[in-house]
């Protein structure tokens, strides 16, 4: 009988992480590599992906590949899917983590058409296309896991990041649909982080991070490792019965407001 440690072992599996060169994505890449998985780091700046791939390979000994990928460009998802299968011959875990939340002030009237379209393209359109392409190949191969990273803000959106929350809410809907479409061969689950130390929080207005930490029952923001460990569990055989799960990782803030 296999132990929990055995079930968490991801040796030999191929994992694709979008937005994997920094922040939460970088933490996810590291955690999967430390648990034996081969990783594909996909993000807009190829040189950053190459640097992370070299660091991860040196630290863990696993195979890591870099790919320049813009989630907001439809054809880039096809290029990424082809690269993964041509390079590794398979994909066992797809993690749609890439995201953007441009700052536009305290008025929705400040939101331009360009900002709105760009936000939806990166946060919703790209993951939709990548799930369709890789998810179908996983299904045809007989197994796989899709993890989509959205935000706790989809449950309680505010006007300060509404286009972002709307786009991520679309990704929530996609996740639940795929949990039915691709099961039982492919499991699809949702990670919903609250306030985290990330690329997005780095652009918050002055004082926001301190205020968010003070409000949180855990008295801190999340760190990439918090979500990375959860992603490893959900992708592993230890979570074999979890499909369509919506996992809120916000330190308990949503439940106490």
DSSP secondary structure of 189-239: EEEEE-SBSSTTGGGSPTTHHHHHHHHSTTSS-B-HHHHHHHHHHHHSGGG
Nearest to 47 by CA among 72, 62, 67, 19: 67
Helix axes 46-60 and 23-34, enclosed angle (nearest 10) = 30
Edge-to-edge strand list for the sheet holding 186-193 = 64-68, 38-43, 14-18, 93-96, 144-149, 186-193, 246-249
Give the whole-angstrom CA distance, residue 6 versus residue 248: 26
Structural contact between residues 77 and 130, judged by C-beta atoms closer than 8 angstroms: yes
Which are the catalytic amino acids? 164
Element housing 132 (H / E): helix 126-141
CA torsion angle 116 158 94 27 (round to 10): 110
């Amino acid at each position: 009988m296999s132990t929990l440690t055995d079930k968490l072992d991801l040796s030999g599996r191929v994992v694709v992480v979008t937005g994997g060169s920094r922040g939460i994505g970088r933490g996810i890449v590291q955690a999967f590599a430390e648990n034996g998985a081969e990783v594909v780091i996909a993000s807009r700046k190829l040189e950053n992906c190459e640097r992370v791939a070299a660091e991860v390979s040196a630290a863990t000994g696993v195979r890591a590949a870099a790919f320049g990928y813009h989630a907001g460009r439809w054809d880039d998802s096809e290029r990424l899917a082809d690269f993964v299968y041509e390079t590794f011959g398979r994909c066992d875990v797809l993690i749609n983590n890439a995201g953007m939340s441009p700052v536009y002030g305290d008025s929705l009237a400040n939101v331009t058409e360009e900002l709105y379209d760009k936000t939806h393209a990166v946060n919703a359109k790209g993951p939709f296309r990548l799930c369709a392409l890789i998810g179908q190949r996983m299904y045809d191969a007989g197994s796989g896991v899709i993890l989509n990273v959205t935000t706790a803000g989809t449950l309680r959106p505010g006007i300060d990041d509404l286009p972002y929350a709307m786009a991520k809410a679309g990704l929530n809907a996609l996740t639940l649909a795929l949990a039915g479409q691709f099961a039982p061969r492919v499991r699809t689950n949702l990670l919903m982080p609250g306030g985290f130390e990330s690329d997005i929080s780095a652009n918050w207005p002055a004082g926001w991070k301190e205020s968010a930490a003070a409000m949180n029952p855990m008295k801190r923001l999340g760190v990439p490792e918090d979500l990375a460990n959860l992603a490893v569990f959900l992708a592993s055989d230890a979570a074999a019965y979890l499909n369509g799960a919506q996992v809120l990782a916000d330190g308990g803030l949503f439940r106490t407001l």
